[in-house]
Structure 1
Amino acid sequence: MVTIRRFDNADAPAVAGIIENCLREVNSRDYPSEVIERMCAHFTAQRVQELAGERQMFVAETSGIAGTVSRDGNKVHTMFVHPSAAGRGIGRLLLRHIEALAETEGYDHMETSASITAHDFYRRLGYVDVRSIETPFGLNHILRRSLL
């Protein structure tokens, strides 16, 4: 069973660990090591706490924290699921949770900046490509999904 709840500051080390594991084990297939190192250095426990203060952040729990996502209005941010929990629908549950919140607040679409690694995940869940951009962390795809 998966429970989605609001992030608590005590979750920061676990969330930072999930992000690092994802980056090193999964995203490293699509990005050079220097980009992975830069991303890992960016997503420290302290930075995760700062981001949670700027956005609504959520975690998915099974027998521990298995994933995270955050949102700012209708923007999806920091979506990561621990590689050992991948393929169980946790990412979909997290995404649908924040989409429902955004829809309740009157937004008609969601938008995200997805890594090369996450691009197909979002497309499978109904997001469509808007454009691609180059970021300090490499190529990202901007995708959008209608909530109507």
Structure 2
Amino acid sequence: MTIRRFADADAPAVATLIATCLREVNSRDYPPHIIDRMCAHFTESRIRELAGRREMYVADVDGVVGTVSRDGNKVYTMFVHPAAAGQGLGRSLMRHIEDLAAREGREYMETGASISAHDFYHRLGYTDVRTSDTEFGLNFILRLTL
């Protein structure tokens, strides 16, 4: 696996990856109308827009199988293809951006997590700070000291 910066040509693969994750994983915890809203939010053009505002990375194993982005010490859009889950790709993506933030002198990383991803972040050592309601439903805010 290679972790590399997002390239504009990755937008279709990243949009498809996110939609696949939402429909196959998050749909266990959210109703169809919320999943549809989430999928509509992460279009190819939206992915490109976000990549222009944040540092976005992809995990590449003969194609895009994961993605994560960050803005300083904030983590966004962390997804790993369901077929590749449990292989350490998500952990590797997170450690990559955590290392970047630590080298910049950041003291912690913070992320918002869906119900579906909440336990994943706990396994990485993140702790709950608070919850919030978003247009996509319940969101957990978690933090990791670097």
Above 0.5 in TM-score? yes
In 2, the alpha carbon distance for the partners of 1:89 and 1:101 equals 18
Partner of 1:48: 47
Gaps of 5+ in 1: none
Counterparts of 1:57-72 in structure 2, within 5 Å, are 57-72=56-71
Secondary structure at the counterpart of residue 69 of structure 1: strand
1:64, distance to aligned residue in structure 2 (A)? 1.0
- The one-letter amino acid of 1:106's match is G
Corresponding position: 1:100 with 2:99: yes
Aligned residue for 2:129?
130
Calculate percent identity across the aligned residue pairs: 68
Superposition pairs for residues 16-95 of structure 1, below 5 Å?
A: 16-95=15-94
Could you tell me which amino acid in structure 2 is paired with residue 105 of structure 1? E
Q: 2:15 & 2:81 partners in 1: Cα distance?
A: 11
Cα RMSD of the aligned pairs, angstroms, is 0.4
Aligned length: 146
Shift of 1:23: 0.2
Structure 1 residue matching 2:105: 3-state secondary structure: coil
SS, match of residue 110 in structure 1: strand
Where do 5+ consecutive residues of structure 2 fail to align?
none
How far the C-alpha of 1:22 sits from its partner, in A, is 0.2
1:3 aligns with 2:14: no
Residues 72-126 of structure 1 deviation map (CA, whole Å, 9 limit, x = unaligned): 0000000000111111000000000000000011101000000000000000000
Work out the CA distance in 1 between the residues paired with 2:11 and 2:63. Answer: 13
TM-score, with structure 2 as normaliser: 0.99
DSSP-derived class of the 1:116 partner = coil
Match in the other structure for 2:12 = 13
Residue 63 of structure 1, CA deviation: 1.7
TM-score normalised according to structure 1 size = 0.98
